[in-house]
Amino acid sequence: MDLTIDSRILEEVVEHAKAAYPKEGCGLIAAGRFIPIPNIAQSVSEFEMDPAELIKAFRELRTAGEELVAIYHSHPHGPLRPSDTDIERAYYPETAHLIVSLADPKHPRTAAFRIANGEALEIELRAIV
Ligand SMILES: [Zn+2]
C-alpha cells in the first residue's frame, strides 16, 4: 500500500500548510485535486476540519465520482509522524494520511501513513509528474 500524488497537488498542499502556519492546515486530496478545509480547532497543535465544509467536499467528490486518496494536515512545529491525538481521531482507516512538517520552514517535509487499530504505519509517498 502506498500513496501516489500528482506533484503539482503535493506542491499545492505544501503551500497551503505554509499559508496556515502557525496553525495546522488540513484538507482532502482526491485523485485530481486538493480541497482545503478550514481548521476550526483553536489550538496550534491540533486540527478539526469544519464539519459543514467536510460534508460539502465529500458530497462534491461523490457527485463527481472522484475518489478520496488522502487526508492531509500539517504539523507547523511537530514531527513528521502522526501524534497520539491523530491516531485516536483517525476516523477513516481506509484512507492514507498525509502529514506536512514545517519544523524546518525552509524545507517542508512530507510523509504518508495508514492509521488503523490505534497504530500508524508509514507508507511510501510518491509524487508523479
Ligand atoms: Zn497531527
- 107 C-alpha to ligand 1 centroid (Å): 18
- Does this model's pTM top 0.85? My answer is yes
Q: Judge contact between 113 and 121, C-beta under 8 A.
A: yes
State the chain's mean pLDDT as an integer. 94
Pairwise CA distance, residues 37 & 57, whole Å = 8
Domains and CATH numbers, the chain: 2-128 (3.40.140.10)
pLDDT in tens, 37-79: 999 997 778 899 999 999 999 999 999 999 999 999 999 998 9
- 46 C-alpha to ligand 1 centroid (Å): 6
Split at pLDDT 50, 70, 90, the class of 104 is: very high
- 58 C-alpha to ligand 1 centroid (Å): 21
- 67 C-alpha to ligand 1 centroid (Å): 23
- 60 C-alpha to ligand 1 centroid (Å): 25
Position 89 pLDDT exceeds 80: yes
**Exposed, middle or buried by CB within 10 Å (0-12, 13-18, 19+), for 77?**
middle
- Cis, bond preceding 22 (omega within 30 deg of 0): yes
- 74 C-alpha to ligand 1 centroid (Å): 7
Give the position of cell 524546518: 104
Q: Judge contact between 108 and 117, C-beta under 8 A.
A: no
